[in-house]
Amino acid sequence: LVTGGAGFIGSNFIHHFLGENPGVRVVNLDILTYAGNLENLKGVESDSRYSFVRGDIRDKELVASILSREKIDSVAHFAAESHVDRSITGPEVFVSTNVLGTQTLLEESRRHRDSGAVDDFRFLQVSTDEVYGSLGPEGFFTESTPLAANSPYSASKAGADLLVRAYHETYGFPTLNTRCSN
């Protein structure tokens, strides 16, 4: 399951993943807000290994049904509200999508894995270097740089990252956090 697969990063991931892995299937769950564009998926929309579901990651029933019906064994979570400026003028949707949406995906994925529906499961959280705050005198961030979110966007992504970490620590849920940088 790829969430936010019609966005810039998610769509490039889908193209690459399908190109490099002939034996896989990809289900793309995307609500198609301002950042989602199905034009980004030209060339894969007719691939029998690809399917698209228009929907919201906060919809527990939808997420659970996709996981079960498609026998999903991994989630690559790209879906997010983004752009710092947008978060300043409307922070509520950032918290709702980025934090609560991530929690919905985690919980439904954990239930799915714990049901025995799949032998192995992975959850990849795709985050942002914005969670580290402003670039300091070193000129770079590392994995040990403390979180220092400076906007509602970065705070919501940090919150999602911490939930992913908590699911790993609390439930032994197999997760990986990545933080993209530009």
Which positions ≥6 away from 167 have C-beta within 8 Å?
106, 110, 123, 173, 175
Instruction: Kindly name the residue from 130, 132, 161, 167 that is annotated as catalytic.
Output: 130
Buried b (16+ CB within 10 A) or exposed e, 75-112: bbbbbbbbeeebbeeebeebbebbbbbbbbbbbbbbeb
Nearest to 94 by CA among 151, 55, 134, 31: 151
Instruction: Kindly name the residue from 47, 73, 129, 171 that is annotated as catalytic.
Output: 129
Task: Let me know if 153 is a catalytic residue.
Answer: yes
Q: Helix (H, G, I), strand (E, B), or coil: what is residue 159?
A: helix
Instruction: Kindly name the residue from 50, 153, 161, 167 that is annotated as catalytic.
Output: 153
Task: Let me know if 107 is a catalytic residue.
Answer: no
Task: Let me know if 130 is a catalytic residue.
Answer: yes
Residues recognised as catalytic: 129-130, 153
